[in-house]
């Protein structure tokens, strides 16, 4: 099976977040690795594995996977009390 990789829609930056590979959605096709070998590689079990968050962002982040296996994860912001 061949998957088409869509070009990045935007090159936005997001603060305090990270990318992750949803191993349940990843089928190990390698399309993301072909487009962004400096940001992602094939890891254990034939699934994609992120090796460089910044490079992955520059390559297009979640747009690299048509199946939605690359996901953006925002870290929770902590509110400081103004007491």
- Give the Cβ contact number of residue 33 at 10 Å: 19
pLDDT of residue 44: 85
pLDDT of residue 59: 95
pLDDT of residue 12: 38
Break the chain into its structural domains and give their ranges. Answer: 17-74
CB distance 31 to 66 below 8 Å: yes
Tens place of pLDDT per residue across the chain (83 aa): 554 544 443 333 444 469 999 999 999 999 999 999 999 999 989 999 999 999 999 999 999 999 999 999 976 555 555 55
pLDDT of residue 74: 77
Give the distance, in angstroms, between the CA of residue 74 and the centroid of all CA atoms in the same chain: 12
CATH of 17-74, picked from 3.30.70.20, 3.40.50.720, 1.10.357.10, 3.30.420.40, is 3.30.70.20
């Amino acid at each position: 099976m061949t998957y088409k990789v869509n070009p990045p829609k935007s090159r936005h930056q997001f603060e305090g977040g990270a990318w992750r590979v949803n191993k349940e959605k990843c089928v190990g096709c390698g399309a993301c690795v072909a487009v962004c070998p400096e940001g992602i590689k094939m890891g254990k079990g034939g699934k994609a594995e992120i090796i460089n968050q910044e490079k992955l962002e520059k390559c297009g982040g979640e747009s690299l996977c048509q199946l939605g296996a690359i996901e953006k994860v925002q870290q929770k912001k902590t509110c400081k009390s103004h007491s």
